[in-house]
Structure 1
């Protein structure tokens, strides 16, 4: 499903009520059974982007070599975390490096890209042979982090940047001097957008030459207000965001204080689910079924969501940007246009395309073709187009 961003819409009104906590905090996913995902003993002493472990894995793409790299990154609280990126390369570099952030809208560790790239569940891999044929290397980070904290977009940006650092520091790939492009759609665009926006401060050494993002949910809070309390087919995705954010912000997102009995059941039921199951379990439910009425204007909760809203954060995308959006997208077009306008006002060259008649699901493919051609031109050093007004 390509509707991750719209599912975020129900979250901001999931608020803290006055009832005492019935359960003991966030529900975390089952640990990955593969020991590769656990940090080596030097996590605390490592720097962001340092390689902790590497393994080669069989490649589904003819002629490509695939590595998985465990590296050090940082969570939203500034604590060190292990993270993984999968590097797919048609041969040793130097060559253009594309960091691609998939639209992962899941709570179970088995749903991470480093698994779904190889089990057929990550549909975006259909485009990878075309990218490899261009001579590009592709890095695909598990940008939801070691707790599958769906919705924590700032952390996703940090993991994305540290994954690029790790790939560049992995000498056998030969990518130390490669130019970098960023791309993603929907939830993947949230991580992509944050990676681009925070890069000048967080990873200023990375040579990011262009960014491509589509269907970006730039402000989950406003989407939540507009959604109201009506039953929604994609309600499960919004509830899953609340659950993922609680994992990343356990002090701020104390869902125990606001969940109804059915809400407790849903949180437990979804705790290890991938997207299709999340959508099925939550289909056509609504906010008042799972949350008690409460202080939806709680300043701590609002601040937490604002920290992960591209429309609001002070950091701006400064690299050349291609952005696309469906004309009938469930993710608000006007908010995406306003945010792109902030970048234009700061002097960023932005090419913003609207795909006529397309909704969130159907806009991805026509826009993605334009996005890859746009990044190819940036890798070639051509001047970026702009339709800023």
Structure 2
């Protein structure tokens, strides 16, 4: 049963209200010191809820190790799908290769899997939720914020019989900042929750199960980064396809469009996220008093608050010297890199190629990309350019444009995406449609 129409309308009305405001201008027990070993997961998942979000004293060096887990209910996954679900804290690696702990949710439908092989797993990355610690996707699914996320995509996957491994993304543990739009951080976190899912007691997930990747908006960038990193970072995973929608492929193009716009809060989140994931770059010292207040708001709000309270913000108004984006890109960090280089490193579709091509990022499975015809948040020029880059790299790519704007396109694509992933799990051929204009 789909999410009630009244609740969907309530979400859209809430976003409309936020945009209207915008228009006015308005702890974990310590692990053994030294080389951390993976915890014993033979016992039941009964860690206190707070432990899932506490920073551990040390993190296992093996990505995908379960650090803590807890059985949970998911009241904001609609349709009353019978399932078992867990909150999980697991090990991953940041963009510099340092072990980090990440939180997320794993859910498995109670229905018996009747398809070929073992039950497939979909690694899911949500779209932008906000940087506040209360915004973590696992907290929202468990009922903390009824209006922040509908959960329809998760429900659709569970109804199709697939297990779901949904990462919060790094940086949602106590006292941390989410490394928003940092490609490697996002890709690692998404791949590693798949690794951890089979280690959760009672999940019944086969480590050799077929895996699909899916995300939209921020999640679309994350899932596409996971696709690009999979061959080198998680070669043991049997990934059969990636679905990525609303992808902000070139952050410089996105930043130029967002600066001073009704959706400027996303640019603030991006600047804050990249500074947290790249601490050698100059940042806090560049902010004036308005900038400090802007960052404070960004750190505390979820999606609607981010849009409404940070609308119209301009980078130039938040820095001591009125620095433009281009001037910021020229600034160097202590490692000699410029901000422009750091931002360019997040660009999707660069250095990609088919399996065996010798490219930096080899992709050996098909990719689905999509966007809305009325897209108003992510410039369509960068979404189209990412698709073009994949086609030119001879990666099997299917492309679709839906008659929606940024928010509604996610739901318009839901059923098609679940079916497309199902076709990949069944081994059906995909030839892409790169020859279409």
Normalising by the smaller structure, the TM-score range is 0.7 to 0.9
Question: What corresponds to 2:421 in structure 1?
Answer: 375
Q: Tell me if 1:284 matches 2:284.
A: no
| Structure 2 residue aligned with 1:54 | 69
Whether the 8 Å CA contact 1:40–1:53 is kept in 2: the answer is no
Match of 1:296 in 2: 328
- What SS class does the counterpart of residue 241 from structure 1 fall into? helix
Confirm whether residue 365 of structure 1 aligns to residue 411 of structure 2. yes
Return the alpha-carbon distance in structure 2 between the equivalents of residues 142 and 226 of structure 1: 27
Aligned residue among 99, 112, 124 for 1:100: 124
Counterpart among 306, 309, 322 of residue 347 in structure 2: 309
Which of 46-55 and 168-177 deviates more? 168-177
Residue 300 of structure 2 aligns to a residue whose secondary structure is coil
Q: Is the 8 A contact 2:247 2:383 kept in 1?
A: yes
User: For the Cα contact (< 8 Å) 1:105–1:275, is it kept in 2?
Assistant: yes
2:367 paired residue number: 321
The verdict on how the C-alpha distance between 1:284 and 1:97 changes in structure 2, with shifts beyond 3 A counting, is same
Name the CA distance, whole Å, in 2 between partners of 1:281 and 1:320.
Answer: 39
* Distance in 2 (alpha carbons) for counterparts of 1:127 and 1:271: 26
Q: Is the 8 A contact 1:100 1:140 kept in 2?
A: yes
CA distance in 1 between partners of 2:396 and 2:214 (Å) = 16
1:223 deviates by 2.2
2:158 to 129, 132, 135: 132
The partner residue of 1:186 within 200, 203, 217 is 217
Q: Identify the residue that residue 384 of structure 2 maps to in structure 1.
A: 337
Going from structure 1 to structure 2, the CA distance change for 1:315 and 1:121 (only over 3 Å counts) comes to farther
**Counterparts of 2:150 and 2:179, CA distance in 1:** 21
Which of 243, 247, 253 is the aligned partner of 1:222? 253
Does residue 236 (structure 1) correspond to residue 265 (structure 2)? The answer is: yes
Secondary structure at the aligned position of 2:166 is classed as strand
- What's the offset of the Cα at 1:335? 2.3
Distance 1:263 1:33, change over 3 A: farther
Contact 1:223 1:332 in 2 (8 A): yes
Write out aligned runs for 1:69-148 (5 A): 69-91=88-110, 94-119=118-143, 120-145=146-171, 146=173, 147=176, 148=178
User: Which 4+ residue blocks in structure 1 deviate beyond 4 angstroms?
Assistant: 39-42
Deviations for 1:161-219, whole angstroms, at most 9, x for unmatched residues? 11111112335212123211111100111111101110000001101111111110001
Going from structure 1 to structure 2, the CA distance change for 1:109 and 1:33 (only over 3 Å counts) comes to farther
1:354 pairs with one of 401, 404, 427 = 401
C-alpha displacement at 1:59, in angstroms?
4.1
Q: In the superposition, relative to structure 1, how do residues 168 and 344 fare at CA in structure 2: closer, same or farther (>3 Å)?
A: farther
Change in 2 beyond 3 A, CA 1:209/1:272: same
SS at match of 2:406: coil
Conservation of the 8 A alpha-carbon contact between 2:148 and 2:303? no
2:296 pairs with one of 268, 272, 277: 268
Q: Alpha carbon RMSD of aligned pairs, Å?
A: 2.4
TM-score when normalising by structure 2: 0.76
Q: Are 1:152 and 1:248, in contact at CA under 8 Å, matched by a contact in 2? A: yes
For residues 23-62 of structure 1, the aligned pairs below 5 Å read 34-38=50-54, 40=56, 43-44=59-60, 46-60=61-75, 61-62=80-81
Secondary structure, in 3 states, of the residue corresponding to 2:151?
helix
Q: Is the CA contact 1:117–1:125 (under 8 Å) kept in the aligned structure 2?
A: yes
Higher RCO structure, 1 or 2 (CA under 8 Å, sep 6+):
1
Q: Which consecutive unaligned segments of at least 5 residues does structure 1 have?
A: 4-31
Q: Is the 8 A contact 1:153 1:190 kept in 2?
A: yes
Distance (whole Å) between structure 2 residues aligned to residue 125 and residue 98 of structure 1: 14
How many equivalent pairs are there? 356
Which residue matches 1:151? 181
